[in-house]
Each structure stands twice: as structure tokens, then as C-alpha cells.
Structure 1
């Protein structure tokens, strides 16, 4: 096979990076300081046409990805679970940092044409950080309020109440910061306003969707539903065909009040996820009764959705006609 581009896999840790160059088979390690990242970018640039793959590593990959992107390199952030499954599929059971870097490179070489290169979005990143901390404060507040029901010691109660007042002030500060981000970013402000047009979507949910689903406006309604975790995956083998199973939900489903209805039906939750993009809605509500499972497209399910964030497959979902107007394609 003739390789027209070098593929680099980087295993990210807090203190250093392990790098593997495919197909040359060269491996080396470098530190994670800003100066060392600059040197690494220069070294990779000298390879000629190159694609660089990093695993999502809880945020440790962000500074490296930004540095390599700023240097003009083609960067991809891939899902660790996908890389690990790829390694097992080719019989690589051992796992070390050096092996992980090689597996990232080989995985990227196999699927790069189906991926979308990393492109930093400072406004979305800031909103994500603010929203995530706001959720942590809300969780802490809920736990402290529960403790007040059972604690009688005056000193402890005073400390808890003081902490609750501080949390309330911090939440107000974060809300103001979110408003500033929306005010300063017309693209996000427009999307936020259009999300609010969906019945039941308030400012908190709209903000959570924009912060944790940067794919909005870039993918179809089907893909958006799969990202949220309400699009069933087809399960068919031979003559056996089972109902689709929903999986692969983003963290937003578990940490945000994403469903605005007190008791949403299956079709309502599907329609909400599908209509946040508004494009490619399959049918009206009358054509997709909530008592029936959402029909999955077996052909679409086989196509990789790594280009959206690297972890979800396509499904066919329907949305009501009055929501088809909500099209988040930026060029509309």
C-alpha cells in the first residue's frame, strides 16, 4: 500500500506525550510543556503532509490539540473506546502508552476519511466550562439542602447555610457569564433564540444543548437524536429483527434537565432531539405514533458517524411538521 500522508498517533497524559508515526513505525516521547508542544509541532510539520490523532483524555488533550492546530496541522480527536475496540479487533491485547499511540495512529489511518478535523471554538468551550461548573454547584446545593433536613447541630447548620448562600451567588455569576457569551457571540445567540422556540425548551436547556452539543447546526436531525441518545440502533440478524435499542447518549442527558416535560412520551423525546436541528425530519407526528418503536434505517446504521464526534450511528427519526421550520444550518 502506498501512503500519501503520514499518520501520527499521540497518547496523552498529564506529564508527557507518547508519539507514534505510521507507517514509518517510529516512536518517541516528549514533555507536555508549552515549549515542548511547540517543538513537537515543528517536528511533525517537517514530516510533510500529516494527520495527527489524539484520544479524548478528560481535557488534557485540549492544549496539545490547540497547539498543533495553530501550527497548521490536521488534528483529530478520537474516542478511546473506539481505539481500544480497534486494537482488540486486530489482536492487540497488551496496553501500554507506546502501544496506545501506535493503535491511535493505525485507527486514524483506517477511518480518517470519515472524520472531521478538530477545529477549536473558544465561545463554545467557554460556555461548556461555565455550564459544567454550574451543574456541579447545583449538585452540591442539592446535597447540602438534603443535609439540613437531618442535621440539628447549630454550628454545622450555620456553615451549610453560609455555603448555600455562596453557591447561590456563584450560580448568579455563572448565569451572567453565560449571558455575556451569548451577547458576544451572534451565532450562539441566534441558535439559543431558535431553540427557545421549541415548546418546553427554556434558557437552561437551550444553554445546556449549545454547551454540550457543538454539533448543533452541523449535523442532521437524525444524527442529533443519536447524539442525545434517543435514536434506536437497528438490531437485525438473519430472520430475527428486534426493536431498536437507544444507546450512546451524551453526558448532557445525565447531568442536565434535558427533557422539559414532566412525563414525556417516547415520541415527544424523539421529536425534541430531532427538531433541535430541524433538518431531514422524516414525517409528521401522525405518521409516527408514540406507541410504535421509531423505525431505524439499517443502511444508515452501518455508516460511521465519527465525523460528528466519533461515537454515534445514524437512525431514522420523525418530527412533527410544526417543528420542521427550526433549521439550524448556519447558511439559512
Structure 2
């Protein structure tokens, strides 16, 4: 396949990254670098030695392991794509790939980029990155507290000195959680755009402070053309499972999105079903129609996402009357459990 510019397939790991340079003559060059600032500079020098001033770099989304490299290449002016690993894996299966090494993975990513031409990546604004880091830290602290609390379930099995130490740890974690929540709040309020979005989200009954932080940190509304695509991003879209004569298989949600967002919207939906007039009315109609409790909750989650999308896209606070005039497509309600 003819290419306009060379492609750089990058397989990223914690300590290193392998690159496969696919040149316009369809020949490969491979190198391995340390996944740190020095390694990034060595990569730049290697690219310059190959007289490359333009290329399309492609890598899997690996979170913190690849973010700094993607940012570095973007700042150099190169095109960058960060792709869901599931897409690369499926592409490899379609090509009957049998070899699994870092070098082979780099080549596969380069070929994927050549064939599929994934959309270009844009770096997340610094203020959102900082909020995300604090949200990540808050999640870690909450997980640590749960672990410590679980250790006290059999307190009679523990020596008093151990249980006392665990209790002290929980008190410390409570303070750290409170500090993290306050830092997140201050960060949001210190940035005009985030503060305005937080104010809009606060107008939606059921969307609390913590869910607001998750939305601002993990849900890039502006990148989605519709609420339907946003629902797919959170993994709440129906997963259809039909084959041959098996047409009545149990339907489920795809769960191919961000699990943390689903958890946040689940808790918000439980509140919204009680206190958000639009969602409450919607849920009551589903229950009257014979839908299960879980189907109703997931439908309420999707309803909330539609509301969030409309409020942030239009830049107007939520009102029940405005919502009644919106056409909100909820999909097949039998496909939500």
C-alpha cells in the first residue's frame, strides 16, 4: 500500500518501547529505547539520522506508560494516534498473526496504522490531566481504605497492637481522602472552563461532586458527535448476541468502555431515580412496563448520560421542562442488563 509519509509503530512497556519504522518503500527499521526522557531524545536523534521530518506515529493506549512519549512526539510536530489495544489485537487476529514479541508488535501496529489510518490524537489539557491524576489518587486511597477495613472483619483474629495499627491507618486514609477531594474541588474552581462545566453539572439532580470530577477528568464530551457515541464510550451500549436460530439469547451491555465511569453513573442513577423528576418518571414507566430493577437502573444511567451530554454541549443548565421537549433515544430497553 502506497504511503504519503513514513509510519512509526510503537510498542510501549513500562521500562522500554520498541519502534518499527515503516518507510514509504514498505521496508522496516527497528529500534528499542528506554521509556524515559533520555530514551525520547535518542528516538528523536535516530529519526533525524534517518532524515525524517514528518511521520505518523501510532501506539496502543497504555495509560501512563505511553502518555509522555505521545506528548513528546506531538510537541515535535509529528502526527500521533493512540489506539484502543482491542483494535490492534483484532487486527492481528484478522492477519493470522502467530508471533508475539515486542518487535513483532511494533510492526503490527505500524501495519494497522497504514491500513486503518486511525484518527489523530490530541493531548489532554494540562488542567484536566491534573484533575485526572487526583481522581486516580482518590480512587487508590479509597481502595486502600477498603483493604484495611476488610482486615478488621475478623478483629478477634488479630493482636490488639495490629488492629490498633490498622485503625490508625484508616484514620490517616480518611484524612488523605478528604484532602484529595478538597484538592479536586479547588482545581476545578480555579479553572474558569472547568468551574463553568461543574456548575452546569450541579444543576442535574443525581450528579454529585464526585461524579462531576469523574466526568470532567475522564469524559471528553467535545470529542463525541452524539450522546449515543458517548454511551458506547462508557460501555453502556447494548451487546447483541444473535446467531442462526439462537435469537433469544440473554442480552447485555458491552462493558467495553471505562468501568470507573460506569460505576460513577450507576451511583448517580440510583440517586436520580429518587430525586430527578425526569429520570424518576422514566424509571417508573419502565417498572410499570415490567422491566427488571437492573434494566431500569441501566436505562436511567443512559438517560443521565443523554442529559449530561445535552447540558454540556448546549452550555445551559438542566431544567425538567427543557428535557421533556428533547427526543432522547434510549435504544432497546430489553438489551440493557
State how 1:242-253 maps to structure 2 within 5 Å.
245-247=252-254, 248-253=256-261
Deviation at 1:202, TM superposition (A): 0.5
Distance 1:257 1:137 in 2: 20
Are 1:124 and 2:133 matched, yes or no? Answer: no
Match of 2:218 among 212, 215, 227: 212
Q: Name the residue aligned to 1:7.
A: 7
User: Are residues 140 and 31 of structure 1, via their aligned partners in 2, closer, same or farther at CA, if it must alter by over 3 Å?
Assistant: closer
Distance 1:149 1:85 in 2: 44
> For the Cα contact (< 8 Å) 1:267–1:288, is it kept in 2?
no
> For the Cα contact (< 8 Å) 1:228–1:273, is it kept in 2?
no
Deviation at 1:253, TM superposition (A): 4.1
Structure 2 residue runs of 5 or longer lacking an equivalent are: 271-292, 315-322
Structure scoring higher RCO (CA < 8 A, sep ≥ 6) equals 1
Q: What root-mean-square deviation, in Å, do the aligned CA atoms of Structure 1 and Structure 2 show?
A: 3.1
> For the Cα contact (< 8 Å) 1:288–1:294, is it kept in 2?
no
Distance 2:194 2:21 in 1: 38
Deviation at 1:255, TM superposition (A): 5.4
Deviation at 1:194, TM superposition (A): 1.6
Aligned length: 293
Deviation at 1:184, TM superposition (A): 2.6
Distance 1:32 1:291 in 2: 45
Deviation at 1:15, TM superposition (A): 2.8
Deviation at 1:179, TM superposition (A): 1.8
User: Are residues 200 and 290 of structure 1, via their aligned partners in 2, closer, same or farther at CA, if it must alter by over 3 Å?
Assistant: farther
User: Are residues 163 and 49 of structure 1, via their aligned partners in 2, closer, same or farther at CA, if it must alter by over 3 Å?
Assistant: same
TM-score normalised over the length of structure 2: 0.76
> For the Cα contact (< 8 Å) 2:21–2:28, is it kept in 1?
yes
Match of 1:188 among 189, 194, 198: 194
Deviation at 1:14, TM superposition (A): 2.7
Deviation at 1:96, TM superposition (A): 0.5
Deviation at 1:272, TM superposition (A): 1.1
Distance 2:170 2:334 in 1: 44
Distance 1:291 1:75 in 2: 37
Higher mean displacement: 267-276 or 34-43: 34-43
> For the Cα contact (< 8 Å) 2:3–2:114, is it kept in 1?
no
Structure 1 residue runs of 5 or longer lacking an equivalent are: 296-332
Q: Give the structure with the higher percent helix.
A: 2
User: Are residues 30 and 146 of structure 1, via their aligned partners in 2, closer, same or farther at CA, if it must alter by over 3 Å?
Assistant: closer
Q: Name the residue aligned to 1:275.
A: 307
Distance 2:165 2:92 in 1: 51
Residue by residue over 1:129-151, the C-alpha shift from the partner in whole angstroms, topping out at 9 and shown as x without a partner, is 21122112112222333433431
User: Are residues 147 and 36 of structure 1, via their aligned partners in 2, closer, same or farther at CA, if it must alter by over 3 Å?
Assistant: closer
Residue by residue over 1:111-135, the C-alpha shift from the partner in whole angstroms, topping out at 9 and shown as x without a partner, is 22x4132323222222112112211
Residue by residue over 1:157-179, the C-alpha shift from the partner in whole angstroms, topping out at 9 and shown as x without a partner, is 21111101110111122112112
Deviation at 1:240, TM superposition (A): 7.7
Residue by residue over 1:174-215, the C-alpha shift from the partner in whole angstroms, topping out at 9 and shown as x without a partner, is 1121122212322222222222222211001111122222x2
Q: Name the residue aligned to 2:102.
A: 97
Q: Name the residue aligned to 2:32.
A: 29
> For the Cα contact (< 8 Å) 1:41–1:67, is it kept in 2?
no
- The structure whose Rg is larger is 2
Q: Name the residue aligned to 2:275.
A: none
Are 1:40 and 2:43 matched, yes or no? Answer: yes
Deviation at 1:221, TM superposition (A): 0.8
SS for the counterpart of 2:89 is helix
Match of 1:134 among 135, 138, 146: 138
Are 1:293 and 2:334 matched, yes or no? Answer: yes
SS for the counterpart of 1:19 is strand
